[in-house]
Amino acid sequence: MVRRIIVGAHYGLKDWLAQRITAIVMTIYTLLWLTIAVYHGGVDYALWQMLFANEAFRVATALFWLALLWHAWIGVRDILMDYARPTSLRLTLEVLTVVTLVAYAGWLIDILWGASR
């Protein structure tokens, strides 16, 4: 057991927990898609149209992607903390990761609710 000095830091517990909760959200969405695909007998364009015409499914998809992007951030940050040295390199890569993930979030919102739909 590591004896830690309590100074108010949360020692990554929040991130650890978020990683687990987002994993469970993604698992549920994956199983939902699998069930739908099996029930429909495969995936085709008509199924995509039918599913995403439903606002609830779009919200579920947005939740999945929120979980995915958050999960990806924690995972990539963990990898960078272990291997990206020196600190300046790590900070640069972390900023690039955040910018990319935020851009992906924007891209997804555009796909789901953008003017092109």
**Judged by CB under 8 A, does residue 108 bind another protein?**
yes
Complete DSSP assignment for 3-52: ----SS--TTHHHHHHHHHHHHHHHHHHHHHHHHHHHHTS--HHHHHHHH
62 binds another protein (CB under 8 A): no
**Are residues 97 and 76 in contact, defined by beta-carbon separation less than 8 angstroms?**
yes
Q: Is 87 in the site for another protein (CB under 8 A)?
A: no
Backbone torsion region of residue 83, taken as left when φ is above 0, otherwise alpha when ψ lies between -120 and 50, otherwise beta: alpha
Among 24, 37, 102, 109, binds another protein (CB under 8 A): 24
Q: Does 11 bind another protein (CB under 8 A)?
A: no
**Closer residue to another protein in complex, CB, 9/45:** 45
Provide the binding-site residues for another protein, judged by CB under 8 A: 20, 23-24, 27, 30, 45, 48-49, 52, 61, 68, 72, 75-76, 79, 82-83, 85, 104, 107-108, 111, 116-117
